[in-house]
Amino acid sequence: MPPHPARAAYFLDFDGCLVAIAPRPDAVVIPRGLVQMLDRLYHRAGGALALVSGRAIADLQGFLPGLNVPMVGCHGAEHARGRGRVTRLRVDRDILAQAIAALHAAAGPVPGFLVEVKPVSVGLHYRANPALEPEAEAIMGRIAKAAPGFHLHQSKQMIELRPDGADKGQAVAKLLSEASFQGRCPVVMGDDLTDEPAFAQANRRGGVSVKIGQGATAARHRLRDPQQVRHWLNIWGAS
């Protein structure tokens, strides 16, 4: 079991962890009481709770109105203290714009593809037709070759072109150096390949790493689904 909230620092993914993955990024369903539960645990932990997501922070804030906790977006490329100003990793905007235009041209007309544009990255979803994975890999591979300063990362039925230096593990390490997180035991929860660097950070520091769902992982613990995650977060917030 994780340590008491007074000694823990919580780092929580959003999609596939707090909420179920939806067919489209904009179709996610927010469970009733989620904001209140997170707010309660945030205060129980003395402010040592952050969302660490591949989503843009603007999306997280839109889905979770009223939640005033630290947020990391775009896999570590965005940071915000609660509802405050969002700081972003500096990227070459011209290269990103060219990549976005090329991806729309190549994938936009193909049924089953969905292009997701974020503040500092762009992704290609093929959840609607998993058989498109080889074509998605080929398209994104061509685009990445013309995008210095960016690299590809595979997620669940999505391939994303994201800036070098964006990493959830580095984001967790940075937060752990801040006053409200310092000296606490990290508790990292996530469901995807992008969470593995954060799991590694928790493991190196003697913390708790929790993989949600199936799949190979460096995490040392596992929960079945977001419903089970919320069950435990609710218990910890009340402890």
Look up residue 5 and give its two tokens.
């909230």
Contact between 13 and 191 under an 8 Å Cβ cutoff? The reply is yes
Contacts of residue 197, Cβ cutoff 8 Å, sequence gap at least 6? 167, 168, 169, 170
In this structure, which amino acid lies at residue 111? P
Torsion of CA 20, 106, 117, 167, to 10 degrees: 80
Look up residue 173 and give its two tokens.
């390490």
The whole-angstrom separation of Cα 3 and Cα 146 is 47
The whole-angstrom separation of Cα 81 and Cα 85 is 7
DSSP string for 128-140: T-GGGHHHHHHHH
Contact between 184 and 7 under an 8 Å Cβ cutoff? The reply is yes
What's the maximum distance between 2 C-alpha atoms anywhere in the chain? 52
Going by C-alpha positions, the residue among 106, 101, 75 that lies closest to residue 89 is: 75
DSSP string for 43-54: HHTTT-EEEE-S
Whether 94 is catalytic: no
Residues that are catalytic: 13
